[in-house]
Amino acid sequence: MFNLFKKVLGRTNDAIKTVAPTKRKSINKDELEEILLEADVQYALVERLLSGLPETVNRIQTFNSLISIFQYNADFKESDARPFVEMIIGVNGAGKTTTISKLAYKYKQEGKKVILGAGDTFRAAAIEQLSRWAAKLEIPIIATQQGHDPSAVVFDTIESAKAKGFDNVIIDTAGRLHTQTNLSEELKKMIRIAGKTLEGAPHRKMLILDGTQGSSSINQAKAFHEMIGIDGIIITKLDGTAKGGSVLSIADELKMPIFYIGTGEQPQDLIEFKANAFVNTILDEIFI
Protein backbone atom coordinates (compact mmCIF):
# COMPACT_ATOMS: atom_id res chain seq x y z
CA MET A 1 0.00 0.00 0.00
CA PHE A 2 2.77 2.46 0.93
CA ASN A 3 4.59 1.83 -2.36
CA LEU A 4 1.38 2.52 -4.27
CA PHE A 5 0.82 5.79 -2.43
CA LYS A 6 4.44 6.72 -3.11
CA LYS A 7 3.77 6.24 -6.82
CA VAL A 8 0.58 8.30 -6.66
CA LEU A 9 2.20 11.12 -4.68
CA GLY A 10 5.46 11.10 -6.65
CA ARG A 11 5.12 14.61 -8.07
CA THR A 12 3.78 15.99 -4.79
CA ASN A 13 6.76 14.58 -2.95
CA ASP A 14 9.11 16.01 -5.60
CA ALA A 15 7.57 19.42 -4.91
CA ILE A 16 8.04 18.92 -1.16
CA LYS A 17 11.74 18.17 -1.75
CA THR A 18 12.18 21.61 -3.30
CA VAL A 19 11.38 23.21 0.06
CA ALA A 20 12.57 20.38 2.34
CA PRO A 21 15.58 18.90 0.53
CA THR A 22 17.06 17.24 3.62
CA LYS A 23 15.19 14.82 5.88
CA ARG A 24 15.50 15.58 9.58
CA LYS A 25 14.14 14.41 12.91
CA SER A 26 12.38 17.73 13.46
CA ILE A 27 11.56 20.93 11.57
CA ASN A 28 10.23 24.33 12.58
CA LYS A 29 6.66 25.49 12.01
CA ASP A 30 7.62 27.94 9.25
CA GLU A 31 9.19 25.12 7.25
CA LEU A 32 6.12 22.91 7.75
CA GLU A 33 3.88 25.75 6.63
CA GLU A 34 5.91 26.17 3.43
CA ILE A 35 5.79 22.41 2.74
CA LEU A 36 2.02 22.19 3.18
CA LEU A 37 1.36 25.24 1.00
CA GLU A 38 3.67 23.85 -1.69
CA ALA A 39 1.56 20.65 -1.70
CA ASP A 40 -1.61 22.73 -2.30
CA VAL A 41 -3.13 22.57 1.18
CA GLN A 42 -5.42 25.58 1.60
CA TYR A 43 -3.90 28.44 3.60
CA ALA A 44 -6.65 28.62 6.24
CA LEU A 45 -6.33 24.89 6.90
CA VAL A 46 -2.52 25.14 7.14
CA GLU A 47 -2.87 27.86 9.78
CA ARG A 48 -5.33 25.74 11.73
CA LEU A 49 -3.09 22.67 11.56
CA LEU A 50 -0.12 24.65 12.84
CA SER A 51 -1.96 26.47 15.61
CA GLY A 52 -1.72 23.65 18.14
CA LEU A 53 1.88 22.69 17.40
CA PRO A 54 5.08 23.82 19.17
CA GLU A 55 7.65 25.93 17.31
CA THR A 56 9.68 22.81 16.49
CA VAL A 57 7.78 19.68 15.45
CA ASN A 58 8.72 16.03 15.01
CA ARG A 59 7.14 13.34 12.87
CA ILE A 60 4.68 12.09 15.50
CA GLN A 61 3.38 15.58 16.24
CA THR A 62 2.97 16.34 12.54
CA PHE A 63 1.25 13.01 11.89
CA ASN A 64 -1.23 13.59 14.72
CA SER A 65 -2.04 17.04 13.38
CA LEU A 66 -2.57 15.92 9.76
CA ILE A 67 -4.48 12.72 10.55
CA SER A 68 -6.92 14.69 12.72
CA ILE A 69 -8.45 16.06 9.51
CA PHE A 70 -9.83 12.61 8.70
CA GLN A 71 -11.39 12.05 12.14
CA TYR A 72 -14.93 12.96 11.13
CA ASN A 73 -18.04 10.83 11.11
CA ALA A 74 -18.90 10.43 7.44
CA ASP A 75 -22.66 10.08 7.16
CA PHE A 76 -22.78 6.98 4.99
CA LYS A 77 -23.93 3.47 5.71
CA GLU A 78 -22.92 0.48 3.62
CA SER A 79 -25.80 -1.37 1.98
CA ASP A 80 -26.09 -5.10 1.41
CA ALA A 81 -28.71 -4.52 -1.31
CA ARG A 82 -28.46 -6.67 -4.42
CA PRO A 83 -28.18 -5.37 -6.98
CA PHE A 84 -26.11 -2.59 -5.42
CA VAL A 85 -26.63 0.51 -7.57
CA GLU A 86 -23.98 3.21 -7.88
CA MET A 87 -24.34 6.44 -9.79
CA ILE A 88 -21.07 8.04 -10.92
CA ILE A 89 -21.09 11.83 -11.06
CA GLY A 90 -18.61 14.52 -12.08
CA VAL A 91 -17.71 17.04 -14.76
CA ASN A 92 -16.32 16.09 -18.15
CA GLY A 93 -12.60 15.40 -18.10
CA ALA A 94 -12.44 14.31 -14.45
CA GLY A 95 -11.93 10.67 -15.44
CA LYS A 96 -15.48 9.42 -14.91
CA THR A 97 -15.59 6.79 -17.64
CA THR A 98 -12.15 5.39 -16.83
CA THR A 99 -13.09 5.22 -13.14
CA ILE A 100 -16.27 3.30 -13.96
CA SER A 101 -14.14 0.73 -15.80
CA LYS A 102 -11.87 0.46 -12.75
CA LEU A 103 -14.79 -0.09 -10.39
CA ALA A 104 -16.29 -2.66 -12.75
CA TYR A 105 -12.95 -4.47 -13.00
CA LYS A 106 -12.58 -4.45 -9.21
CA TYR A 107 -16.03 -5.94 -8.64
CA LYS A 108 -15.51 -8.53 -11.36
CA GLN A 109 -12.21 -9.57 -9.75
CA GLU A 110 -14.15 -10.06 -6.51
CA GLY A 111 -16.38 -12.55 -8.31
CA LYS A 112 -19.38 -10.24 -8.66
CA LYS A 113 -21.68 -9.93 -11.66
CA VAL A 114 -21.55 -6.36 -12.94
CA ILE A 115 -23.64 -4.42 -15.43
CA LEU A 116 -23.04 -0.87 -16.70
CA GLY A 117 -25.55 1.80 -17.68
CA ALA A 118 -24.44 4.46 -20.20
CA GLY A 119 -26.45 7.28 -18.63
CA ASP A 120 -24.41 10.09 -20.17
CA THR A 121 -26.58 10.40 -23.27
CA PHE A 122 -25.54 14.03 -23.74
CA ARG A 123 -22.24 13.03 -25.39
CA ALA A 124 -22.06 10.33 -28.04
CA ALA A 125 -18.36 9.94 -27.22
CA ALA A 126 -19.23 9.01 -23.63
CA ILE A 127 -21.50 6.18 -24.78
CA GLU A 128 -18.89 4.90 -27.22
CA GLN A 129 -16.04 5.09 -24.69
CA LEU A 130 -17.96 3.24 -21.98
CA SER A 131 -19.13 0.63 -24.50
CA ARG A 132 -15.51 0.00 -25.50
CA TRP A 133 -14.52 -0.51 -21.87
CA ALA A 134 -17.47 -2.87 -21.36
CA ALA A 135 -16.40 -4.95 -24.37
CA LYS A 136 -12.78 -5.01 -23.21
CA LEU A 137 -13.75 -6.16 -19.70
CA GLU A 138 -16.47 -8.51 -21.02
CA ILE A 139 -19.12 -6.81 -18.93
CA PRO A 140 -22.67 -6.18 -20.23
CA ILE A 141 -23.84 -2.63 -20.80
CA ILE A 142 -27.19 -0.95 -21.39
CA ALA A 143 -26.72 1.88 -23.86
CA THR A 144 -28.86 4.01 -26.14
CA GLN A 145 -28.30 6.78 -28.66
CA GLN A 146 -27.12 10.30 -27.98
CA GLY A 147 -29.96 12.58 -26.92
CA HIS A 148 -32.17 9.85 -25.50
CA ASP A 149 -33.62 10.09 -22.00
CA PRO A 150 -30.92 9.01 -19.51
CA SER A 151 -33.59 8.05 -16.96
CA ALA A 152 -34.77 5.35 -19.38
CA VAL A 153 -31.23 3.96 -19.31
CA VAL A 154 -31.37 3.93 -15.50
CA PHE A 155 -34.69 2.05 -15.56
CA ASP A 156 -33.56 -0.48 -18.17
CA THR A 157 -30.21 -1.14 -16.47
CA ILE A 158 -31.69 -1.75 -13.02
CA GLU A 159 -34.54 -3.87 -14.41
CA SER A 160 -32.04 -6.00 -16.33
CA ALA A 161 -29.88 -6.38 -13.21
CA LYS A 162 -32.90 -7.48 -11.14
CA ALA A 163 -34.07 -9.96 -13.78
CA LYS A 164 -30.65 -11.51 -14.39
CA GLY A 165 -29.28 -11.58 -10.84
CA PHE A 166 -26.50 -9.01 -11.09
CA ASP A 167 -24.65 -7.94 -7.96
CA ASN A 168 -23.52 -4.46 -9.02
CA VAL A 169 -24.96 -1.76 -11.24
CA ILE A 170 -22.74 1.19 -12.21
CA ILE A 171 -24.47 4.06 -13.99
CA ASP A 172 -22.66 6.88 -15.77
CA THR A 173 -24.16 10.39 -15.77
CA ALA A 174 -23.69 13.51 -17.89
CA GLY A 175 -20.67 15.62 -17.00
CA ARG A 176 -21.75 19.07 -18.03
CA LEU A 177 -20.83 22.03 -15.84
CA HIS A 178 -22.44 21.76 -12.44
CA THR A 179 -23.89 25.28 -12.77
CA GLN A 180 -26.33 24.19 -15.46
CA THR A 181 -29.91 23.90 -14.24
CA ASN A 182 -30.85 21.30 -16.85
CA LEU A 183 -28.11 18.96 -15.58
CA SER A 184 -29.42 19.36 -12.04
CA GLU A 185 -32.95 18.44 -13.05
CA GLU A 186 -31.69 15.54 -15.17
CA LEU A 187 -29.68 14.05 -12.28
CA LYS A 188 -32.59 14.46 -9.87
CA LYS A 189 -34.90 12.65 -12.29
CA MET A 190 -32.37 9.80 -12.74
CA ILE A 191 -32.22 9.39 -8.97
CA ARG A 192 -36.04 9.38 -8.67
CA ILE A 193 -36.36 6.74 -11.40
CA ALA A 194 -33.68 4.60 -9.78
CA GLY A 195 -35.59 4.70 -6.48
CA LYS A 196 -38.87 3.77 -8.17
CA THR A 197 -37.23 0.90 -10.04
CA LEU A 198 -35.47 -0.47 -6.95
CA GLU A 199 -36.22 0.71 -3.44
CA GLY A 200 -33.24 2.53 -1.92
CA ALA A 201 -31.42 2.99 -5.24
CA PRO A 202 -29.04 4.52 -6.00
CA HIS A 203 -27.33 3.11 -2.93
CA ARG A 204 -24.22 5.22 -3.51
CA LYS A 205 -23.71 8.45 -5.42
CA MET A 206 -20.00 8.71 -6.08
CA LEU A 207 -18.35 11.97 -7.12
CA ILE A 208 -15.22 11.86 -9.28
CA LEU A 209 -12.77 14.70 -8.57
CA ASP A 210 -9.80 15.50 -10.78
CA GLY A 211 -6.70 15.60 -8.55
CA THR A 212 -4.92 17.98 -10.94
CA GLN A 213 -7.54 20.61 -10.07
CA GLY A 214 -6.27 20.66 -6.49
CA SER A 215 -8.30 22.54 -3.92
CA SER A 216 -10.35 24.26 -6.64
CA SER A 217 -12.34 21.03 -7.07
CA ILE A 218 -13.92 21.65 -3.64
CA ASN A 219 -16.42 24.17 -5.02
CA GLN A 220 -17.36 21.68 -7.71
CA ALA A 221 -17.99 19.03 -5.06
CA LYS A 222 -20.06 21.38 -2.91
CA ALA A 223 -22.27 22.27 -5.87
CA PHE A 224 -22.97 18.62 -6.70
CA HIS A 225 -23.58 17.82 -3.03
CA GLU A 226 -26.12 20.63 -2.71
CA MET A 227 -27.73 19.47 -5.93
CA ILE A 228 -28.26 15.78 -5.19
CA GLY A 229 -26.27 14.74 -2.10
CA ILE A 230 -22.97 12.91 -2.56
CA ASP A 231 -22.11 9.74 -0.60
CA GLY A 232 -18.41 9.51 -1.35
CA ILE A 233 -15.48 10.61 -3.46
CA ILE A 234 -12.96 9.07 -5.82
CA ILE A 235 -9.93 11.24 -6.64
CA THR A 236 -8.30 10.71 -10.04
CA LYS A 237 -5.03 11.80 -11.67
CA LEU A 238 -3.15 12.46 -8.43
CA ASP A 239 -0.14 10.76 -9.99
CA GLY A 240 0.00 13.55 -12.58
CA THR A 241 0.07 16.52 -10.22
CA ALA A 242 2.07 18.10 -7.40
CA LYS A 243 -1.19 19.05 -5.65
CA GLY A 244 -1.53 15.91 -3.53
CA GLY A 245 -1.95 17.97 -0.38
CA SER A 246 -5.33 19.07 -1.71
CA VAL A 247 -6.68 15.74 -0.43
CA LEU A 248 -6.34 17.23 3.07
CA SER A 249 -8.35 20.28 2.03
CA ILE A 250 -10.97 18.17 0.28
CA ALA A 251 -11.44 15.94 3.34
CA ASP A 252 -11.57 18.94 5.69
CA GLU A 253 -14.07 20.93 3.65
CA LEU A 254 -16.39 18.14 2.51
CA LYS A 255 -16.16 15.63 5.37
CA MET A 256 -17.20 12.81 3.06
CA PRO A 257 -15.64 9.36 2.68
CA ILE A 258 -12.80 9.25 0.16
CA PHE A 259 -13.25 5.72 -1.14
CA TYR A 260 -10.58 5.33 -3.80
CA ILE A 261 -7.63 6.98 -5.51
CA GLY A 262 -6.95 6.48 -9.21
CA THR A 263 -3.31 5.58 -9.85
CA GLY A 264 -3.15 5.35 -13.65
CA GLU A 265 -5.08 4.64 -16.84
CA GLN A 266 -5.54 0.86 -16.62
CA PRO A 267 -8.57 -0.91 -15.07
CA GLN A 268 -6.47 -2.25 -12.19
CA ASP A 269 -5.15 1.23 -11.33
CA LEU A 270 -7.46 1.93 -8.40
CA ILE A 271 -6.54 1.69 -4.72
CA GLU A 272 -8.59 2.04 -1.59
CA PHE A 273 -7.85 5.31 0.17
CA LYS A 274 -6.14 4.90 3.54
CA ALA A 275 -5.60 8.11 5.50
CA ASN A 276 -2.69 6.71 7.54
CA ALA A 277 -0.83 5.56 4.44
CA PHE A 278 -1.50 8.87 2.69
CA VAL A 279 -0.16 10.99 5.56
CA ASN A 280 2.85 8.74 6.19
CA THR A 281 3.83 8.84 2.51
CA ILE A 282 4.07 12.63 2.70
CA LEU A 283 5.94 12.56 6.01
CA ASP A 284 8.46 10.06 4.61
CA GLU A 285 9.79 12.91 2.46
CA ILE A 286 10.20 15.28 5.41
CA PHE A 287 11.37 13.28 8.40
CA ILE A 288 14.06 10.68 9.03
Phi, psi of 58 (to 5 degrees): -105, -175
Mean of pLDDT over the chain: 92
Q: Are 81 and 201 in contact (CB under 8 A)?
A: yes
Rounded distance, CA 173 to CA 91, Å? 9
Q: Identify the structural domains of the chain with CATH numbers, from first to last.
A: 2-72 (no CATH), 84-274 (3.40.50.300)
Q: Are 244 and 267 in contact (CB under 8 A)?
A: no
Q: Are 54 and 61 in contact (CB under 8 A)?
A: yes
Q: Mind listing the pLDDT tens digit for each residue in 5-35? A: 888 899 999 999 999 889 999 999 999 999 9
Neighbours of 90 (CB within 10 A): 28
Rounded distance, CA 38 to CA 17, Å? 10
Neighbours of 162 (CB within 10 A): 14
Rounded distance, CA 186 to CA 150, Å? 8
Q: Mind listing the pLDDT tens digit for each residue in 75-116? A: 666 788 999 999 999 988 899 999 999 999 999 999 999 999
Rounded distance, CA 179 to CA 127, Å? 23
Q: What is the pTM assigned to this prediction?
A: 0.93
Q: Indicate if the alpha-carbon torsion angle 122, 126, 128, 130 is positive or negative.
A: negative
